[in-house]
Amino acid sequence: MMIAVVNQKGGAGKTTLSVHLACYLHDLGLKVALVDNDPQQSASGWISLAEPGIHCRTLLEPAALVDGVQQLESTHDIVIADGAPRLNEQTHVLMYFARQILIPTRATTLDVQATLTTKDSIDRVREARIADGRGDLDVRIILNFVRTVGNLHELMRTSLRSLKQPLANTALSMRDAFAKAVTHQTVVTRMKEPGAQAAARELKQLFTEVLPHELVQLNQAA
Ligand SMILES: Nc1ncnc2c1ncn2[C@@H]1O[C@H](COP(=O)(O)OP(=O)(O)O)[C@@H](O)[C@H]1O
Ligand SMILES: [Mg+2]
């Protein structure tokens, strides 16, 4: 089973979400692999220091991605893929093979518009998947960098809901702890400071809300 984290926009929080999700599932006892599809390879560098127990592979070309993802799926409970900030053949491979797609987005109009372009692309891939008899595809948009002051995120939330977009109820706030986690080569769920603990609580709430049911069952069996 693969969960792909995609958004054509850079700086949306894809790598942050991928690394945190991978560590969260690892800490629950699952055998996790991380696929880094971004040529910048930020996820690979971060995860190798944060949690060497997670097998990480950089797969940049479409053919390598097709082979690599299927091979990793057969040897791991879950594969998390960190997408590149573009919509290309590689991103389409991730969309085609994923069981679930998470799309983090900054809560501003321009970012949400870019996110909707990514979502349109997923909907086209979904048609190909249905034609090929590959099961359902679960897509969740996640508002990230939500500020505690102002109500911009509420406007974004209302507009995404009115467009019937699959928005997760749980959003991630803008918190220094997410940026500090990279500096400390760890994840917020393993940090002690109060800001990190608040971030960890939000993440756990998000994962409890959105993760596929099969994964939760796998976790209970582990
Ligand atoms: N909720 C958040 N609050 C504060 N900083 C964040 C948050 N999410 C991500 N960041 C920071 O924003 C930057 C971009 O995030 P990143 O995960 O690299 O995005 P992407 O992979 O989509 O380009 C990084 O410096 C990261 O530490
Ligand atoms: Mg990234």
Which atom from ligand 1 is nearest to the alpha carbon of 7? 22
Question: Which tokens go with 150?
Answer: 């102002």
The CATH number of the domain holding residue 133 is 3.40.50.300
- Residue range 22-72, pLDDT digits in tens: 999 999 999 999 999 999 999 999 999 999 999 999 999 999 999 999 999
Q: Does a structural domain hold residue 202? A: yes
Residue 72 located in a structural domain: yes
- Closest Cα partner for 21 from 4, 7, 8? 4
Q: Is residue 193 part of a domain?
A: yes
Q: CA-CA-CA-CA torsion for 1, 90, 169, 208, nearest 10 degrees?
A: 20
Pocket lining: 144 vs ligand 1, CB cutoff 6 Å: yes
Most confident of the ranges 139-143, 152-156, 211-215: 139-143
pLDDT band at 221 (very low <50, low <70, confident <90, very high): low
Residue 220 lies in a domain: no
Instruction: Flag whether the pTM goes above 0.85.
Output: yes
Query: Whose CA is closest to 38, among 79, 98, 92, 90?
Result: 90
Is the Cβ atom of 182 under 6 angstroms away from ligand 1?
yes
Q: Domains in the chain: how many in total?
A: 1
Tell me whether residue 222 is in a domain: no
CB distance 15 to ligand 1 below 6 Å? yes
Contact 146, 171 (CB under 8 A): yes
Class of residue 73 by CB neighbours under 10 A (exposed 0-12, middle 13-18, buried 19+): middle
H/E element holding 139?
Answer: strand 138-144
**Ligand index nearest the alpha carbon of residue 9:** 1
Task: Dig out the tokens for 200 from the structure.
Answer: 């960890």
Residue 196 covered by a domain: yes
Q: Stretch 3-14: mean pLDDT, rounded?
A: 97
pLDDT at 135: 82
Residues of the domain holding 185: 2-215
pLDDT band at 219, cuts 50/70/90?
low
